[in-house]
């Protein structure tokens, strides 16, 4: 035992106590205590493995396991006193364990360091977080696929440059969102593979002289494998960076959906009604119903992008192996997890409850010459080269602009002044229904294609584990 005055577990070689400010400055318990469950699971697996290879007696192992389970219960009912003096979640739990069970508690840290311990905790934590995110994503995607099936025949204007371009179906638009989220889901599943590798056994940096069975520990903790290199295992946080990057892309997608919901729920578009329970009013303007939830989701992309940059910058130029810098990985990571989960939950609740205003969408599609391309295609079918057809229709549109009418509102005689090839059958292609039905190609907006795609989307979601 040390004869110094320090109050730290590692205080043996110190001759004075840590400065009070430095203790608080270097402590992480305020935020890393949220990993208590993973820390306890990791310690229990480590203890069982130590007992299996004969480093810990079965009695000590049982005392450790029981003690840790009691501590877990204490934490869960709010009866655990966290101490900043004990620096982090790891030392808080270990010190309490030793208070409870005596020397067996001090033997738990054999063949282990906080460096491989914390790296393990973060990976376990992130694995759980990814699973929770995937569950919310699945809920949102299933809501989207169902809504898309219901709205496969609903016609709305499709936009490029936010100018009316061609008519599309609302279901088609919703399935575009679905595709974006499908890739996000695949990215998360892929990221999970690189998260699910176990640092334990790397010890401080070089491995350990105890005969650890790392495969056994990995198996107990449901890791796919132990990390192959101890220096790498304790030092890299690339899995967290990868998660943050995937999260940033996902949030970017949510922000695009959010932006469209904000536009569509405005009086100018008036395409959808958001349920009142997802909106708020104004304290001064009685008529207001603000789309707060989509706006907030749109805004929250900022912090997630910031966290990605924080993690990248934190890792940059770090020499091997563990450095205290890495303690700074947790807050950005945790906030990314909380933000993504919250945004997905809000959207998964809100999207299926959207109320589409079909007649407004249809009316909007009738304005803006959405079928101009169809008229050009009609002329092409009659032998006119596309570039000439484009020119002819452009002139017809100009007349429409000048007289405030859509192409379908003109008489046959009026249309024929632009091309004698135009006949009475032109009015079929100028209808919105005809226009969308004609986009009958794989991936196109024709209602039958959209129904097919929605069914495929539903099956894809159902096959997720």
Report which secondary-structure segment, H or E, holds 177.
Answer: helix 170-195
CB closer to ligand ARG, 117 vs 166: 117
Which residue out of 2, 266, 282, 359 is catalytically annotated?
A: 282
Of residues 223-242, those binding ligand ARG (CB under 6 A): none
Question: For residues 384 and 376, what is the distance between their CA atoms, to the nearest angstrom?
Answer: 9
- 109 binds ligand ARG, rule: CB under 6 A: no
Shortest Cβ 80–ligand ARG spacing (Å): 18
* Residue of 318, 327, 289 lying closest to 119 (CA atoms): 327
Among 39, 41, 60, 88, binds ligand ARG (CB under 6 A): 88
Residue partners of 163: CB distance under 8 A and separation at least 6: 368
Contacting range for ligand ARG; rule: CB under 6 A; set: 283-291, 322-330, 434-442, 444-452: 322-330
- 154 binds ligand ARG, rule: CB under 6 A: no
Does residue 173 have an active-site annotation?
A: no
Does residue 282 have an active-site annotation?
A: yes
Cis amide leading into 321 (omega within 30): yes
Q: What is the DSSP string of 305-371?
A: HHHHHHHHHHHTTPPSS--GGGGGGHHHHHHHHHHHHHHHHHHHHHGGG-EE-HHHHHHHHHTTTTT
CB closer to ligand ARG, 13 vs 324: 324
Q: CA of 384: how far to CAs of 379, 393, 416, in Å? A: 6, 12, 14
- 326 binds ligand ARG, rule: CB under 6 A: yes
Contacting range for ligand ARG; rule: CB under 6 A; set: 261-269, 306-314, 319-327, 381-389: 319-327
The site that binds ligand ARG (CB under 6 A) totals a number of residues, namely: 10
Phi-psi sector, 71: left (phi>0), alpha (psi -120 to 50), beta: alpha
Question: For residues 108 and 43, what is the distance between their CA atoms, to the nearest angstrom?
Answer: 7
Among 18, 38, 92, 115, binds ligand ARG (CB under 6 A): 115
Question: For residues 315 and 187, what is the distance between their CA atoms, to the nearest angstrom?
Answer: 21
Shortest Cβ 119–ligand ARG spacing (Å): 8
CB closer to ligand ARG, 154 vs 326: 326
Among 265, 327, 336, 419, binds ligand ARG (CB under 6 A): 327
- 435 binds ligand ARG, rule: CB under 6 A: no
Shortest Cβ 326–ligand ARG spacing (Å): 5
CB closer to ligand ARG, 128 vs 295: 128
Shortest Cβ 126–ligand ARG spacing (Å): 14
Shortest Cβ 228–ligand ARG spacing (Å): 21
What character string, x for contact with ligand ARG (CB under 6 A) and - otherwise, covers 20-59?
--------x---x---------------------------
Which residue out of 161, 209, 317, 404 is catalytically annotated?
A: 161
Residues 333, 240 contacting (CB under 8 angstroms):
yes
Question: For residues 289 and 307, what is the distance between their CA atoms, to the nearest angstrom?
Answer: 32
Report which secondary-structure segment, H or E, holds 195.
Answer: helix 170-195
Residues 171, 152 contacting (CB under 8 angstroms):
yes
CB closer to ligand ARG, 31 vs 460: 31
Shortest Cβ 47–ligand ARG spacing (Å): 19
Q: What is the DSSP string of 6-44?
A: --STTGGG-SSPPPHHHHHHH--HHHHGGGHHHHHHHHH
Residues that bind ligand ARG (CB under 6 A): 28, 32, 88, 114-115, 118, 322, 324, 326-327
Enumerate the active-site residues: 161, 282
């Amino acid at each position: 035992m040390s004869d110094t005055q320090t109050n730290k577990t590692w205080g043996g070689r110190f001759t004075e106590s840590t400065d009070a400010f430095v203790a608080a400055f270097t402590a992480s318990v305020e935020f890393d205590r949220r990993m208590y469950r993973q820390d306890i699971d990791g310690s229990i697996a480590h203890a069982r493995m130590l007992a299996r290879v004969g480093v810990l007696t079965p009695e000590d192992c049982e005392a450790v396991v029981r003690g840790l389970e009691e501590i877990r219960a204490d934490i869960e009912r709010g009866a655990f006193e966290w101490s900043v003096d004990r620096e982090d979640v790891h030392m808080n739990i270990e010190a309490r364990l030793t208070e409870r069970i005596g020397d067996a508690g001090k033997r738990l840290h054999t063949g282990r360091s906080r460096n491989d311990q914390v790296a393990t905790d973060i990976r376990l934590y992130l694995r759980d977080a990814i699973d929770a995110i995937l569950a919310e994503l699945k809920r949102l995607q299933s809501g989207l696929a169902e809504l898309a099936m219901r709205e496969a025949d609903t016609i709305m204007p499709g936009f490029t440059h936010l100018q009316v371009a061609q008519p599309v179906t609302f279901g088609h638009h919703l399935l575009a969102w679905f595709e974006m989220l499908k890739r996000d889901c695949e990215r998360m599943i892929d990221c999970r593979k690189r998260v699910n590798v176990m640092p334990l056994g790397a010890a401080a940096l070089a491995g350990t002289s105890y005969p650890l069975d790392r495969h056994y520990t990995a198996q107990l903790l449901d890791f796919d494998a132990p990390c192959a290199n101890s220096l790498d295992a304790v030092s890299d946080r690339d899995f967290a960076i990868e998660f943050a990057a995937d999260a940033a892309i996902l949030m970017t997608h949510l922000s695009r959906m959010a932006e469209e919901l904000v536009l569509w729920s405005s009086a100018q578009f008036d395409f959808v009604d958001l349920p009142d329970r997802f909106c708020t009013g104004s304290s001064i303007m009685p008529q207001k119903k603000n789309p707060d939830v989509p706006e907030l989701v749109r805004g929250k992309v900022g912090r997630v992008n910031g966290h990605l940059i924080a993690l990248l910058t934190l890792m940059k130029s770090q020499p091997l192996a563990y450095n205290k810098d890495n303690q700074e990985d947790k807050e950005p990571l945790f906030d990314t997890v909380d933000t993504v989960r919250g945004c997905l939950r809000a959207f998964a609740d809100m999207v299926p409850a959207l109320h589409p205003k079909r007649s407004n969408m249809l009316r909007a599609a009738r304005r803006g010459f959405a079928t101009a391309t169809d008229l050009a295609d009609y002329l092409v079918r009659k032998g006119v080269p596309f570039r000439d057809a484009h020119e002819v229709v452009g002139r017809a549109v100009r007349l429409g602009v000048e007289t405030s009418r859509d192409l379908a509102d003109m008489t046959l005689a009026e249309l024929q002044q632009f091309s004698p090839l135009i006949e009475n059958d032109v009015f079929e292609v100028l209808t919105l229904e005809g226009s969308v039905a004609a986009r009958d190609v794989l991936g196109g907006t024709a209602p039958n294609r959209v129904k097919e795609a929605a069914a495929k989307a539903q099956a894809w979601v159902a096959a997720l584990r």
